[in-house]
Amino acid sequence: MISINVKVNVDEKKINNGIVRQLDKAQFALDQEVLKDSNFYIPARDFYLRDSGVTHSRIGEGLVSWQTPYARRLYYNPQYNFSKDKNPHARGLWFEAAKAQNRGAWERIAQQAYDGL
């Protein structure tokens, strides 16, 4: 009978740090896509609303936000007759529209970023 003793040393801190780094990459990639895809549907006149998303979002921290005095009113009133002059896809609930259209792609992008692809 052969007997083998094996001792494995696991550096849990290194593993956990690697996981956190991969999650951070995935969050960053996801936030960028959510902002880009949501802005595809955002109402535009002078593009202040779209630009506020870039300024006020915290990419990589899971916070995508549009902050103008009128952002909330436009977002929650999809019945408005939005001008299509500068953005033919303009509508209220722009994040919801982007999510409905792109959720699968967002999941793939986040997974690829996590996997390091």
User: Is the per-residue pLDDT at 61 higher than 90?
Assistant: yes
User: Is the per-residue pLDDT at 110 higher than 90?
Assistant: yes
Query: What's the predicted TM-score (pTM) here?
Result: 0.85
Geometric angle at alpha carbon 75, from 94 and 59, rounded to 5°: 60
pLDDT tens figures, 10-59: 777 777 778 899 999 999 999 999 999 999 999 999 999 999 999 999 99
Three-state DSSP class for residue 93: coil
Residue 57 and residue 63 in contact, taking contact as beta carbons nearer than 8 Å:
yes
Residue 64 and residue 31 in contact, taking contact as beta carbons nearer than 8 Å:
yes
d(CA 25, CA 19): 10
Give the per-residue pLDDT at 13: 79
3-state secondary structure 58-80: ECCCCECCCCCCCHHHHHCCCCC
